Chains A and B, each alone.
Chain A
Amino acid sequence: MSFARGTPPVPDATGLELLAQELIESDAASVLGTLYFRDKGTLLVNPATIRETLQRLRAMGFGELMSVHGVDYYPEEPRLGVHYELLDMDALDRLTVKLRVPLDAPVVPSVTPDWPTANHQEREIYDMFGVIFEGHPDPRRILMPEDYEGHPQRRDFPIGGEPVQFTIDEAEGRSYTR
């Protein structure tokens, strides 16, 4: 990525450590690690403190939550990950905040009450990966049918074999979806 007009990526590797230190000072359990990769900083945070951490980062200038995406780290553990892409519109800076949760307890506090933009995106991650966002105002599937079983973006979800839905199958007692 080119950064013309003298806008270097802030925070740089040092700035990222300072940022992490500042967060650790207000809550020792919040930040689990940092990563500086391809000119961009990433904070690995504790899932339980994600709401507070994002609020603190918002106070530090990261006023926009541009994207939330889910990742399945299969076969690594903890398997599921949620990434939050923060943006500072004044300092022209981006920061990734990520967290990992295990498959048997995929519960993350929802950030939708603080960031209304996360509504659809958290629903999508629930739909695709089965991450449960606690405190989400409308925790339903969004892209798949409401009666769909399974979370198709998981890495161990098989490709293909989706049956065509016929009402006659249901009338004759056969499974309607899967």
Chain B
Amino acid sequence: MSITPSTGASDYRKLEESITMAPMERLESPEDTSQELLTLNMGPHHPATHGVLRLLITLDGEIVRDLKPIIGYVHTGIEKTAEDKSYWKVIPVVERMDYLAYYFNAMAFCGATETLLEVEVPKRAQYLRVIHMELNRIMSHLVWLGTSALDLGAMSMFWYCFRDRELVLDLFEQSSGQRMHTRYFQVGGVIEDVPRGWVEKVREFTAQMPSRVDQYKDLLANNEIVLQRLRGVCPLGEPETRALGVTGPLLRATGNPWDLRKAMPYSSYEDFDFKIPVGLDGDNWDRFAVRVAEIYESVKIIDQALDGLPEGPWITEDRKVALPPRHELATSMEALIHHFKLVTEGFRVPPGEVYFPIESPRGELGCFVRSDGSSKPARVHMRDPSFVNLQATAPMTEGSYIADLIATLAMLDPVLGGIDR
């Protein structure tokens, strides 16, 4: 077992180039061919890998015997970049990690920073965060549903889901000006109050969303092909799933109702009444059913948050952390100084280390921030759920057909931007 990785650039290059497209040599006797193992490279550019995931699959005929995920193709060094930016400028960078759950990335980072600063987030901001995060969860699950159905051969689901996703993105655009990577969450609250008419728009959306999901369920859940592709396929038991650190819908599909929104509430999730859908067997069908059921629960949370949306400030009044209101700049010298300090240097954060976990659409998204007392974080690390969940691919799919591997990968819902960061 050698620890040193570097065998020289050219050795590695030769190894990579040794893969040719020449036909494989056939063995003489038919007995031998039945035992032949084939190593197949899948990806990194493959539509069914949901990004640039490369899988090295060892096949025995059509049966998967071994599988190794190879990642790093979209590694962009976001954690390193974050160390070179002041805290409030890190938010847009970390948002781009898991590009389907940008509000969650921002929430994890802001939550960690707020814990270090001991800043109190106003109730209205907490509710606005919950509304946006649950809209984001619906959006993420819709993308998952559309692309997974596409993997199973259901073309039109993709268009339906993306049609509804547009509705969510329109809401994001209205509240923050951006469809994706909105930078809406700030340390201490949210950047702006929601515009007039936004709440009504969200209500329009939540009113129609459950019936839309009903339609999608009717289309898929009673479909013979979908049932055969999902039911009883690639199950993984609760103990194994937990040992692999898998969280989120994948763990809940095995029957373990672990959800950080209930277990360790953050951002006022304890105020809302919602259920945690769980599965029974931990097979692909349960993974599918849990996520679809979660969309209904998210709609319920949004409705409750809109009903109880408190009045008041949407960002902390602490001028050392949050920008002063625009109108004060013309009249108050102090506001001007605070504004100048914040946009030039940023705020300083007391030294310490915190880990702030939240429930993202894919599981526990934890942000570790180490501060050395300056205005830039000394270390930002995201415990991305996709990165950890990906380890479950091999135990799930060993011994199954390669077609089921595609279905399982779809139900795993990995986002490569989050895995590679």
Chain B residues with CB under 8 Å of A71's CB are 353, 370, 378-379, 381
Contact pick for B243, options A115, A142, A146, CB 8 Å: A115
A177 in the interface, Cβ–Cβ < 8 Å?
Answer: yes
User: Counting CB contacts under 8 A, is B80 at the interface?
Assistant: yes
Q: Which residue of B lies closest to A69 (CB)?
A: B381
State how many residues of chain B have any CB contact under 8 Å with chain A.
57
Docked CA distance A94–B368 (Å): 14
Give Cα A38–Cα B72 distance, bound, in whole angstroms: 34
Selected from B245, B265, B387, the residue in CB contact (under 8 A) with A65 is B245
Q: Decide: A38 and B6 in contact? CB cutoff 8 A.
A: no
CB of A55 closer than 8 Å to a CB of B: no
A147 within 8 A of B: yes
Instruction: Evaluate contact between B265 and A5: CB separation under 8 angstroms.
Output: yes
Q: Which residue numbers of A lie inside 8 Å of B, CB to CB?
A: 1-5, 7, 37-38, 40, 42, 63-67, 69-72, 83, 85, 89, 92, 94, 96, 115-121, 124, 128, 132, 139-149, 152-153, 155, 157, 159, 167, 170, 175-177
Contacting residue for A5 out of B115, B266, B270, B355, CB 8 A: B270
Q: What is the CA–CA distance of A109 and B405 in the complex, to the nearest angstrom?
A: 33
What residues make up the interface of B, taking CB atoms closer than 8 Å to A? 1, 3, 5-13, 71-72, 75, 77, 79-81, 83-84, 111, 115-116, 118, 242-247, 258, 263-266, 268, 270, 352-357, 364, 366, 368, 370, 378-379, 381, 383, 387-388, 390-391, 420-421
Contacts A38-B115, A152-B80, A176-B10; is A143 near B71 (CB within 8 Å)?
Answer: yes
Complex Cα gap A120–B322 (Å)? 37
Nearest CB of chain A from residue B377's CB, rounded to whole Å: 11
Expressed in whole angstroms, the Cα–Cα distance for A118 and B387 within the complex equals 11
| 16 residue pairs from A and B, CB less than 8 Å apart | A2-B265, A2-B268, A5-B265, A38-B116, A38-B354, A66-B364, A69-B368, A71-B353, A83-B355, A85-B366, A121-B388, A143-B72, A147-B7, A157-B80, A167-B13, A175-B9
User: Is the Cβ of A66 less than 8 Å from the Cβ of B357?
Assistant: yes
Q: Which residue of A lies closest to B118 (CB)?
A: A38
- Bound together, the chains give a CA A2 to CA B263 distance in angstroms of 11
Residues of B within 8 A of A144 (CB): 72, 75
Provide the bound-state CA to CA distance between A127 and B355, in Å.
Answer: 21
State how many angstroms separate the Cβ of B391 from the closest Cβ of chain A.
5
- With A116-B243, A117-B244, A140-B5 as given contacts, are A66 and B265 in contact (CB-CB < 8 Å)? no
Interface centre among A37, A146, A176, by most chain B C-beta atoms within 10 angstroms, is A146
User: Are A40's CB and B84's CB within 8 A?
Assistant: no
Whether the Cβ atoms of B352 and A143 lie closer than 8 Å is no
**Chain A residues closer than 8 Å to B245, beta-carbon distance:** 64-66, 115-118
Pairwise interchain contact A132-B243, C-beta atoms closer than 8 A: no
Residues in chain B near residue A143, CB distance under 8 A: 71-72, 75, 420-421
* Interface pair B355/A67, CB less than 8 Å apart: yes
Q: How far is the CB of B9 from chain A (nearest CB, A)?
A: 4
Q: Which 10 pairs across A and B sit closest by C-beta, in order of nearness?
A: A117-B245, A4-B270, A67-B383, A176-B9, A143-B72, A147-B12, A69-B381, A143-B75, A147-B9, A69-B368
